[in-house]
Amino acid sequence: MAASSTIPITMVFLILLSCFISTTFSLRVISDHKPHTKPLGFTTRLIHRDSPESPFYDPKLTRTDRMRNAIQRSLDRYNHYTSNIVVPNNVRAPISYRTSEYVISFRVGTPAVDTYAVIDTGSDLTWLQCKPCHNCYDQEIPMFDPRESTSYAKVGCEDVRCKAERGSTCDKDGSSCRYNLNYDDSGHSHGILSTETFVFQYDTRSGNISILELAFGCGYDNGFPYITSQRVGAPGLIGLSRDPLSLISLLAFDHFSHCLVPMTWNKTSLLRFGLDAIMTKDTTPMMDYGNLTTGAYYVMLEGISVAERGLHIPDGTFDITEDGGGGVIIDTGTEYTYIHLVAHVYMIAELEAQIKLDYVPPSPEDKFPLCYKKNMTAGILSMPDITFHFSGMNFDLNKWNVWEEVGDSKICLTLLQADDGLTVIGAHHLQNVNVGYDLRKKVISLENRDCTQT
């Protein structure tokens, strides 16, 4: 791996700070299923933004419209990741809020009120819009009012959690720690770093899981240029990155996993924490280097095969550079996968050499790189296998994720070409894949399976 052999001082600081937070502010987690007990894990539902259950759902959009919107969101997010590489840690949030693909419902406060948020493995601080709001966008449900909650509290300026939030500032009297998230798309969320009770509902059992004194941002100034009077936004965001203030870092669980059901199946996807999380046999290491502004899940991709023919991709193509550029990340907030442009060229050439169907020029609107004409005897299942060779494991991509039937006439490749050195494995290519994260051992597992059966 062509990465710097010396871990940057800022990385060492974040690691030590994360350990200090987890030991000093151990969260209390209570199960209503078994009152006054601490659960060893829990499972909750994920809703795709284009599902009829999602607050983002627009019934007027066609399947093609949704596909094209997802491609544009993926591009926007990719551009955000690559632009962050050269930007100081304290001036930009880790993701672009608009691009997240899944939402989660939960309750907050005492007494608890219903709300929801976009969820993202590339983001850290959880935040919600709060009353009294000085500048907020419209949302479909009532805004959270901390004045009505007996469990709400502000985080003080001397609190280690305040010091962990990049870009935070303090009131003159030291009573409030202000967070400032400024997004690459000109959006922002500013407010008070606080603690509150969050309640997640079991997916398959009666009862709830209550997380007491969870650090989050109570946002009194939030705005995004694409949220207008005609469009509402999600009340907030839940982060699952490896940064110190993400939900998974604050919880006393070492594991989480997700299994994403294809959106068109109209079935439930599951997010699992603790002992509920599913870790499968084959694993690949999480990389400890890379873009320090995201806390993203980097892995080592050693090569790609097409129908067991290894591509002659130059050594070092997928390496992380010394300044944190390049590399490979697994990211549920990106819908479609982007592959390093050099590797993508080799992959396209091999696919063209092996596939005998009639070539069809891709549509500029769809942005897919390679398309073929459908016929009665050859379809998606006849396409060659594509295998990613990660450090320690091989992973065969699901053909139904890799190829898309576009209209009635053609089948197109959904693996997109990156314009930068970063490779991003997106949510679309993780459908019907159990993805497990072991934060203690620092490994990720991948296994193809029917996600409706887990």
Instruction: Please tell me if the domain spanning 9-61+95-274 has the same topology as the one spanning 283-453.
Output: yes
- Can you give the pLDDT at residue 74? 64
Q: According to CATH, what is the number of the domain 283-453?
A: 2.40.70.10
Tens digit of each residue's pLDDT (9 = 90 or more) over 388-415? 999 999 999 999 999 988 876 889 999 9
Q: Which residue would you say has higher pLDDT here, 124 or 449? A: 449
Lowest average pLDDT, out of 32-36, 123-127, 147-151, 215-219, goes to: 32-36
- Can you give the pLDDT at residue 415? 96
The strands making up 410-413's β-sheet, listed across from edge to edge, are 359-360, 371-373, 410-413, 403-406
- Can you give the pLDDT at residue 376? 73
Q: Which residue would you say has higher pLDDT here, 402 or 20? A: 402
Lowest average pLDDT, out of 11-20, 34-43, 115-124, 295-304, goes to: 11-20
Q: Of 162, 153, 160, 158, whose CA–CA distance to 212 is shortest? A: 153
pLDDT band at 147 (very low <50, low <70, confident <90, very high): very high
Lowest average pLDDT, out of 87-91, 129-133, 338-342, goes to: 87-91
244: pLDDT strictly greater than 70:
yes
Question: For 320-339, what is the mean pLDDT?
Answer: 86
Return the domain boundaries, the chain. 9-61+95-274, 283-453
156: pLDDT strictly greater than 60:
yes
- The count of residues in the chain is 454
Lowest average pLDDT, out of 4-13, 81-90, 146-155, 385-394, goes to: 4-13
pLDDT band at 52 (very low <50, low <70, confident <90, very high): low
- Can you give the pLDDT at residue 322? 76
- Can you give the pLDDT at residue 198? 93
| CA gap 379, 399 in Å, rounded | 10
For strands 255-259 and 443-448, give the pairing.
Answer: unpaired
Residue 90 CB: number of other CB atoms within 10 A? Answer: 12
- Name the most confidently modeled range: 103-107, 235-239, 259-263, 436-440: 436-440
Task: Please name the residue ranges forming H helices in 397-444.
Answer: 399-402
Q: What homologous superfamily does CATH list for 9-61+95-274?
A: Acid Proteases (2.40.70.10)
Q: Which residue would you say has higher pLDDT here, 125 or 302? A: 302
Percent of the chain predicted with pLDDT > 90: 39
32: pLDDT strictly greater than 60:
no
Q: Which residue would you say has higher pLDDT here, 81 or 169? A: 169
**DSSP letter, residue 327:** -
Question: For 82-110, what is the mean pLDDT?
Answer: 59
| 198's tokens | 């969050």
pLDDT band at 386 (very low <50, low <70, confident <90, very high): very high
169: pLDDT strictly greater than 50:
yes
- Can you give the pLDDT at residue 358? 92
Q: Which residue would you say has higher pLDDT here, 325 or 207? A: 325
The residue type found at 279 is: M
| 78's tokens | 């990719």
- Residue 339 region by backbone torsions, left for phi larger than 0, else alpha for psi between -120 and 50, else beta: beta
Average pLDDT over all residues of the chain: 80
87: pLDDT strictly greater than 50:
no
Q: Which residue would you say has higher pLDDT here, 316 or 265? A: 316
Lowest average pLDDT, out of 11-25, 94-108, 302-316, 341-355, goes to: 11-25
Residue 186 CB: number of other CB atoms within 10 A? Answer: 11
For strands 371-373 and 359-360, give the pairing.
Answer: antiparallel
Cis previous bond, 132, omega within 30: yes
Lowest average pLDDT, out of 25-34, 139-148, 386-395, goes to: 25-34
- Can you give the pLDDT at residue 71? 74
pLDDT band at 94 (very low <50, low <70, confident <90, very high): very low
Do 320 and 289 meet the contact criterion of CB atoms below 8 Å apart? yes
